[in-house]
Every structure is written in C-alpha cells, then in structure tokens.
A and B are shown apart, each in its own frame.
Chain A
C-alpha cells in the first residue's frame, strides 16, 4: 500500500483553504474530524464550521471509536411464524476519511488490525470500516506533557497507518501522501507543489517535537517481564488503582469487549460493548470462580498484556505512548512511572 517512489513531493495547503477542502471531502466520503479541546477533544462527524482541534498532544477520545465503537450491533433478531430470523449488521465499507488524527492514533489502529482482522476470524464490522478509510494525520508539533511515543517505537511525525500526513507550518500545512491511496486522494484535491524550504521547515517541526518528548525506559521491557509474573513488584503497583476503566476505555489500543443481548425473545439485538480487564467482574465465571480476584491480578494483566503478551504474539508493545492514561487517571497512577518501576525489577 505504501508509495512506490522513494521521495514523495509534498504539496502546500493554505490554512484558509482547509474548510473548503473538508466540505468537498465530506461530499464524497463520511468524514470524521478531530475537534474540541481538553477533555472535550474527540472525533466527530464533520459539519460545516466545526472547530478543528489545535491543542497539544492527542484528542481525549481516540480514533479507535470510529472503527471499534463503544457499542455496536452484531445482528438483530426477530421472530416470524414462530421461527427466529437473524439480520446481520450491515458492513459499513463506504468511503471514509478521518482528518486530524495524530500519528500515535494511526499507529494504534495498526496494532488493533491483527486482532480484528486475523486471517482465521476476520471481523468485517471493523475491517469494513478500515478497508476504504483514508487516514489524514496531523504531525504532532507540540506533544502533550504526558506523551512518550518515541519510547515505544513511534514518532511525532510517524507515518505508519496514515495515508496522508500534514505538518503545520507557520501559515500553511505541508501535506504529503504516504500511501498510493493517499496520493490519489491528495491529487484529486489539486494543490500546488511545496517549495523545498517547506520540507525543511516540516523537518524542523518534527525535530522540535521529538526533543520535547520525555524518554520512558520501555526498551527491552518485554524481556524484563518474561518470567516476572510472580514478582513482588505487582503487590504494590496496583494499590492506588480505583478499578475504573478510564485508562482502558481511552486507550487507543485496548480492545476488550463484552457481548450482550438486549430486547426480548421476540425481537432484539446482540451488541458488543467495550469492556475492561480492570473491572472486577470481567473474568468472573458463572460458578463464582474468578481467575483475577484482586486489583493486583487485574493491573498485572493490563500491563503484561501491553508489554509482554501482545509483543509475544505481534512483536511489539500494545502501547503507542499517547499519554492519555497518564493524563486522565483519577489518582495519577502514571503508566510511565509503572514502566520505570518495572525497569528496576530484579529477577
């Protein structure tokens, strides 16, 4: 899917043109844009005049919600002539554009892909939305104070998962396609080629952002966690945790869900709702047995899944360093600190 040519020339997109372009795009595809600031920052369907987000770091709500919404119907059912009939949820694979997501959010989708689109059981509800989605990212010129993407393999101007990346310059955006699909999309909008100094300015923006990022000792964490399942470090790490799902629900890579029925036997719907490994009831068996009895086991599961189990299966951590969990934890239980504490753990 990546572009064939090695060096792809960028184009210049004037700030003043953005609204016209978005309105044009919205006429051709379902368009989601990053909007709002602070705790209200989220991806919402485009409407004329919607304020585009400018603030530092990522949006509070993630782009995963577009592809893996908090609630989604799997199928509906109703009874006709004494027999149940099932109506599978319509696969939504129309043209879709997401505008303004940060490189960390695009990368997070690449980490969700192997879960939902594994070859054995591809999930078309997720996959359909992903299939034709064009992700137009906004490079991070100003990381948030909690961001640590470069410590987990990301970059403020990272291209993974994006089709087009925009870099905010002083008075315009430099737009560059990173996939053939992105190039085609960008060409259709017709912009002027960027002068060489724009490329240099964009490189400076990325470099400034990189320098602003704190380092978290996540290198080699997978190996350090191997065989540390029973380590005493887990006894204390979870103590402050309240057991809510703020960190997992706002995490761009967390994907746990529950399947529930609503409605009666005659007519209803089977839904998939987000669920969280941090909830006490998540693993409770009908028999009353619970393999993860206390906060200790649940916190360990969350950390191990991100930094040991997922890497074991997919070769890299299930964390993009977006810092959301750091920013929103009601008790300031900071994942960066947890990682640092695990670094010092001896066998």
Chain B
C-alpha cells in the first residue's frame, strides 16, 4: 500500500472563527462514498490535510465521531499550507490522510467527572471529545462535565456558535474567560489557570483534559497539582511538526516516542517521564 496517498475531499463550508479570521473551521466531505462510509476515527486523532501543489500539514480532527458524514478541522493560519487553506473556498478540493495517532482515553473516562481546560485554538482537539461525551448516545456514561475555556480577547474565542449551545445545556458547566475584555464583553476576565482555581474542581473521580499555549499549560499543570490532581488524572495533547504521520520521517520524536503514533495524547504522568523536548 502507499500510505502517503490522501483521500480526496471537498470543502463543504468554511466558518470564520476569530475576529481577525486567523482561525477558520473547515467542514469537509470525502469525494468517494466508500471512504465516507468507512473512514472512522476517535476523539483526539489527527489527519494530514493537504492542498495539491502546496503541501501537507497535521491538523487535529475537531469534529466528533458522532457527527456523521463530514469532518471538521479548525485551522490557524501560520505556515504555507494553512495560509493556502485560508485562501480556499467552499467547493475546493483537498487531500486527507489519516486518522493518525492515539486518542483521548474516552473509554477509561466512563463513569468519571471530566474537566476540560482549553486555551485559544487549543479547544479544537478537546471539542471532538466534548461533543462525543455530550452526544445523547454517550452522555449517560459520563458523570459531571465542566469546560473552562479562555482566549486572549473576546475576538479570539473559537467555536462561539457552539459555546452558546454548551452554555444552554443543563448537564454541562461552562466557564468562558478572556485575558482582556472589550466594550461589548460582559463575561469573565482572567487567565485560564486562575479561573481553574476559582472553579476549583474536586479531583475525586475526575479526569482533566487540557490543551492550549505552552505558558497556559505550564500554570494549569501547577494549579491542578495544587488542587490535588495526580499526574495520571491529567490528559493533554501535543502539537508537533509531524510530516509523515506514520512513524517514519523522524521529525516528531520526543525521546523514543513518536508523537504521531504514540501520541499526540499523553497523560501528565507520561509527559513527566519523557524528555522536555516539545
């Protein structure tokens, strides 16, 4: 087999997320009906998105496996491929390889409380699991769900259209915060790690799943320890420059692990035993 050959897909919808439009969500549909039917993934996995003639970039799948018929990717404009993606329009073609990597331990999390802690675009990988857990077919298997999400400014919040839906749910607790507010902002102002201390979730029978900028992660980890969370109760997902996605190209090594295969999801317990090279 040629593991580098992507499936072709079409962009169905492009949703601008941030005020500056540096993040957009792409809803894509596989061109081939057979692929549409057979492509399955689990929350936390990623795919290599490509534009033919431009190149590939690893992007986490932000839709949930419970959403059928399409995939969603939230893409921040940064490099060559993501910039070109931002220029594309509904109906344009792209290539998708995957899914790759491990996934969030959603089976092991059954029966437990879950605290999601996200910052900026870091909500994208978490969202796959959030919507999986909140799906009517799964919700009863999990205990309390709370989400702490923050961004630099109100304009930097992503998935605002969905935050409202989560807010309305009785079975979910949502805390949205921004580092700096603006005239229109009536919500909470403060850094995510501080909001975490305000919310002060109990570590009893609880798992936290966190993703965000390195500086946020650093203080979130510190504060979770203060709240009494053990390292194996903390799950995170890493961003690396993965090229092949299948453990061959040698780029995403952290120690003997390949983030593209052994990750991107790691517990803090695992991370502590790995070299700090990410």
- A–B interface present (Cβ within 8 A): yes
Docked pose: A291 CA to B241 CA in angstroms: 10
Q: Which residue of A lies closest to B250 (CB)?
A: A256
CB atoms of B53 and A86 under 8 A apart? no
User: Whole-angstrom distance from the CB of B157 to the nearest CB of chain A?
Assistant: 19
CB atoms of A305 and B250 under 8 A apart? yes
For window 250-278 of A, CB contacts with B under 8 Å fall at: 255-261, 263-266, 268, 270, 272, 275, 277
User: Whole-angstrom distance from the CB of B238 to the nearest CB of chain A?
Assistant: 10
CB atoms of B53 and A88 under 8 A apart? no
1/0 contact trace for A267-296 toward B, CB 8 Å?
Answer: 010101001010000111111010110000
User: Whole-angstrom distance from the CB of B52 to the nearest CB of chain A?
Assistant: 5
CB atoms of B5 and A88 under 8 A apart? yes
Task: Say yes or no for B110: interface residue by CB 8 A criterion.
Answer: no
Cβ contacts under 8 Å, A88 to chain B: 2, 5
CB atoms of A287 and B5 under 8 A apart? no
Contacts A259-B4, A259-B249: A286 and B79 contacting too (C-beta < 8 A)? Answer: yes
CB atoms of B53 and A291 under 8 A apart? no
Docked pose: A162 CA to B241 CA in angstroms: 36
Contacts A285-B241, A286-B79: A261 and B2 contacting too (C-beta < 8 A)? Answer: no
Most buried by A among B93, B95, B241, B254: B241
CB atoms of A301 and B4 under 8 A apart? no
User: Whole-angstrom distance from the CB of A128 to the nearest CB of chain B?
Assistant: 10
Docked pose: A124 CA to B251 CA in angstroms: 21
CB atoms of B248 and A259 under 8 A apart? no
Q: Which residue of A lies closest to B54 (CB)?
A: A261
Docked pose: A124 CA to B239 CA in angstroms: 28
Docked pose: A277 CA to B253 CA in angstroms: 10
For A, the interface residue count at a CB cutoff of 8 angstroms equals: 54
For window 229-278 of B, CB contacts with A under 8 Å fall at: 239-241, 243-244, 246-251, 253-256, 261, 275, 277-278
Contacts A84-B93, A86-B6, A291-B240: A258 and B249 contacting too (C-beta < 8 A)? Answer: yes
Cβ contacts under 8 Å, A265 to chain B: 51-54
Most buried by A among B52, B240, B261: B52
Docked pose: A57 CA to B114 CA in angstroms: 60
For window 1-25 of B, CB contacts with A under 8 Å fall at: 1-6, 8
Task: Say yes or no for B55: interface residue by CB 8 A criterion.
Answer: yes
Most buried by B among A89, A122, A256: A256
Cβ contacts under 8 Å, B95 to chain A: 86
For window 110-124 of A, CB contacts with B under 8 Å fall at: 115-116, 118, 120-124
Number of A-B residue pairs at CB separation under 8 A: 121
Neighbour of A286 across the interface among B1, B52, B82, B249, CB < 8 A: B82
Neighbour of B2 across the interface among A115, A125, A260, A309, CB < 8 A: A125
Contacts A261-B55, A270-B4: A121 and B246 contacting too (C-beta < 8 A)? Answer: yes
Neighbour of A283 across the interface among B8, B54, B82, B251, CB < 8 A: B251
Cβ contacts under 8 Å, A268 to chain B: 52-53
Most buried by B among A268, A286, A297: A286
Neighbour of B53 across the interface among A255, A259, A261, A297, CB < 8 A: A261
Cβ contacts under 8 Å, B54 to chain A: 261, 265
Docked pose: A308 CA to B8 CA in angstroms: 39
Cβ contacts under 8 Å, A275 to chain B: 249-251
Docked pose: A91 CA to B57 CA in angstroms: 25
Docked pose: A247 CA to B230 CA in angstroms: 43
Docked pose: A266 CA to B93 CA in angstroms: 12
Task: Say yes or no for A312: interface residue by CB 8 A criterion.
Answer: yes
CB atoms of A256 and B3 under 8 A apart? no
Docked pose: A255 CA to B156 CA in angstroms: 40
Task: Say yes or no for A245: interface residue by CB 8 A criterion.
Answer: no
Docked pose: A255 CA to B253 CA in angstroms: 13
Task: Say yes or no for B56: interface residue by CB 8 A criterion.
Answer: yes
Ordered by A's residue number, 10 sampled pairs between the chains whose C-beta atoms are within 8 Å are A77-B53, A86-B8, A91-B2, A115-B248, A121-B3, A123-B248, A229-B255, A257-B250, A286-B241, A289-B214
A-to-B contact residues, CB < 8 Å? 74-75, 77, 83-84, 86, 88-89, 91, 115-116, 118, 120-125, 229-230, 255-261, 263-266, 268, 270, 272, 275, 277, 282-287, 289, 291-292, 297, 301, 304-305, 308-310, 312-313
A-B pairs, top 5 by smallest CB distance, nearest first, are: A286-B79, A256-B250, A286-B78, A312-B256, A309-B256
Given contacts A275-B250, A286-B78, 9 further A-B contacts (CB under 8 A): A83-B93, A84-B93, A121-B3, A121-B246, A229-B275, A256-B250, A259-B249, A305-B250, A312-B255
